[in-house]
Chains A and B, each alone.
Chain A
Amino acid sequence: DIQMTQSPSSLSASVGDRVTITCQASQDISNYLNWFQQKPGKAPKLLIYDASNLETGVPSRFSGTGYGTDFTFTISSLQPEDIATYYCQHYDNFPLFGGGTKVEIK
């Protein structure tokens, strides 16, 4: 079975900082990876699909890269409204979420 390892599990950064989250698959998953944002008490929201495509309406400070086993999600300039937990999600025969990364403001 494919395993998804997301890191770090939490991070603290200042407003304006560049934030990077990684997601590693245990085997080649092509670009079958999405990224979600979940704010406290809210449902998840799709931000990035197919590893690097920005969902409509999502600010351009969010981006994703990667292919195969290693993927990166970046917030180019952290804003106060970006405080949330971020999840990667692999999709193929079976959807599988990473463990999540809680992003806080320093």
Chain B
Amino acid sequence: EVQLVESGGALVQPGRSLRLSCAASGFTFDDYAMHWVRQAPGKGLEWVSGISWNSGNKDYADSVKGRFTISRDNAKKSLYLQMNSLRTEDTAMYYCAKDIAGVFRYYFGSWGQGTLVTVSS
């Protein structure tokens, strides 16, 4: 069974940094692209970033480009999101999601339960 467990969410002040992690199990992690999708409180879903199976391809939403960095460690079966220069509008539940292929297909077939990031002074 696919399991994705996010961690690292916290209350942080604007301008500070935070690193999210997603631990994967139940599938061959390095066969699949992975993504981060967020949801602000009471709002809809927003794709944030994706990374291909071998880290050769990374992409970002315009809203986070230049501030967030996605990475993965296939040996540790883990996905990461380094979030710098955080803004209040980054406040959201952040979900880790598995794609259906090693390259970007954007089929979010499996999701973690999310980790909450709150940016506030």
Contact = CB atoms under 8 A, between A and B. Distances in A.
Contacts of B27: none
B113 A97 contact: no
Given A43-B95, A43-B112, A43-B114, A87 B107 contact: no
Nearest to A38: B45
Interface in A74-98: 87, 89, 91-92, 94-98
Interface of A: 34, 36, 38, 42-46, 49, 55, 87, 89, 91-92, 94-100
29 contacts: A34-B108, A36-B45, A36-B108, A38-B45, A42-B113, A43-B95, A43-B111, A43-B112, A43-B113, A43-B114, A44-B37, A44-B95, A44-B111, A46-B108, A49-B107, A49-B109, A87-B45, A91-B107, A94-B47, A94-B59, A94-B106, A95-B35, A95-B47, A95-B106, A97-B45, A97-B46, A98-B44, A99-B44, A100-B45
A57 B21 CA distance: 29
Contacts of B114: 43
B18 to A, nearest CB: 20
Contacts of A46: 107-109
Interface string B102-119: 000111110111100000
Interface of B: 35, 37, 44-47, 59, 95, 105-109, 111-114
A62 to B, nearest CB: 16
Interface-centre pick from A43, A45, A49, A87 (highest chain B CB count, 10 A): A43
Contacts of A98: 44
Given A43-B95, A43-B114, A97 B109 contact: no
Contacts of B47: 94-97
B111 A87 contact: no
A44 B108 contact: yes
Given A97-B44, A97-B45, A99-B44, A91 B106 contact: yes
